[in-house]
Amino acid sequence: MKTKVTVGVCVRNSAVTVKEAIESIINQDFPSELIEVIFVDDGSNDDTLSIINKYVSGVVVNAKVFHQDWQGLGLSRDVVVNNASGEYVVWVDGDMVLPKDHVRKQVEFMDAHPEFGVGGGKRGFFPSQNSIADLENVSFMVYESNGVVDDRLPGTGGSVFRVEALKQVGGFDANMSGVGEDLDVAYRIRTAGWLVGKSGAVFFERARDTWQGLWKQYFWHGYGLKKLYRRNPKVFSIAKMTPLAAFVGGALRVPDAYREMRRKSVLLLPFHFAFKMTAWCFGFANGKLV
Q: How confident is the model at residue 214 (pLDDT cuts 50, 70, 90)?
A: very high
Question: What's the CATH code, domain 5-128+144-207?
Answer: 3.90.550.10
> What pLDDT shows up at residue 219?
95
- Tell me the percentage of the chain whose pLDDT exceeds 90: 65
- H/E stretch holding 48 reads helix 48-58
- H/E stretch holding 132 reads helix 131-141
- Closest among 238, 208, 207 to 222, alpha carbons compared: 238
For the chain, residues classed under CATH 3.90.550.10 are: 5-128+144-207
Mean pLDDT, residues 118-140: 85
> What pLDDT shows up at residue 75?
94
**Mean pLDDT over each residue of the chain, to the nearest integer:** 90
Q: With contact defined as beta carbons under 8 Å apart, do 68 and 34 qualify?
A: no
Q: Which of 13-17, 75-79, 252-256, 262-266 has the lowest mean pLDDT?
A: 262-266
